[in-house]
Amino acid sequence: MNVVLPFRVSVSSIGRAPNNHMEPRLMCGVMPQETETHVLSRISRVGILIAATLLLAEAIPVRAQIDETLQRELVDMLRTDQSGRVTIQAAQEKHGFDSPEVKALWEAQYAVDRRNVERLKEIIAIHGWPGRSLVGPQAETVGLIIIQHADHATQVEYLPMLKQAVAEGELQGQALAFLEDRILVAEGKKQLYGTQLRWSAETGQLELVPVEDEANVDVRRAELGLGPLDEYVKRVRAQGGG
């Protein structure tokens, strides 16, 4: 039951998917230049999440003509990615994580996720990675959110492209930390940045998934603009009910 925090996703809305995977609402996405505090405070409401992307406009100068049609399509895809998860959150609170109602909603959301992934692949085949210079700050992180909700093989396939996007200034490095950690944890390895926690039945709270070279994790986090790990975990637990 792993939690990717965030891009994704409000901690208060973390729920357990039918496959016992802890599913955050924002995974789906960290808005690149936001602090973790900003991320954790905004992601439980779709409207807030969509609006928050607009705040990226002043972070990095846009280098090319924006494809506004594609930009609007990606923002719409983000809306479908997040709106279903907000509905699931409400159902979890009403019926319970493992209720038939919640399981049915997850199945419907997984179908949406698959459609979004397939459409993103089509977009990439035509345009390359839809980064800042193509779709602007309002939509530059949408592709990453969608990839975070893809299957593991797809995440691994597109990770090099995302790293290249960061190197070229199309996406800020913070956004990669969550995806890289998610891939590592899925492969049974230690994470690098401490972005993922899992629910522990023994302690009754979210616990940090093991971190590689934890003594230096804050150095790695700082390089990507992330705050200290201890503070991050405290906020996650406070908002996630741990």
For residues 112 and 101, give the distance between their C-alpha atoms in angstroms, rounded to a whole number: 17
Tell me how far apart the alpha carbons of residues 216 and 10 are, in angstroms, rounded to a whole number.
Answer: 27
Supply 92's token pair. 């979890």
User: What average pLDDT does this structure show over 6-19?
Assistant: 38
* Angstrom distance (rounded) from CA 132 to CA 130: 7
Dump pLDDT digits (tens) for 158-196. Answer: 999 999 999 999 998 887 899 999 999 999 999 999 999
pLDDT tens digits, residue range 112-122?
999 999 999 99
pLDDT digits (tens, 9 = 90+) for 63-83: 458 999 999 999 999 999 999
pLDDT at position 3, please?
37
AA letter at 69: T
pLDDT at 56 over 80: no
**For residues 44 and 90, what is the distance between their CA atoms, to the nearest angstrom?**
10
pLDDT band at 55 (very low <50, low <70, confident <90, very high): very low
d(CA 237, CA 50): 24
Strand bridging mode 22-23 / 15-16? antiparallel
For residue 153, what are the CA distances in angstroms to 115, 166, 210? 16, 21, 22
Pair of tokens at residue 230: 């201890």
pLDDT cut 90: percent of the chain above it: 58
Q: Is the pLDDT of residue 126 over 90?
A: yes
> What pLDDT, on a 0 to 100 scale, did the predictor assign at position 238?
84
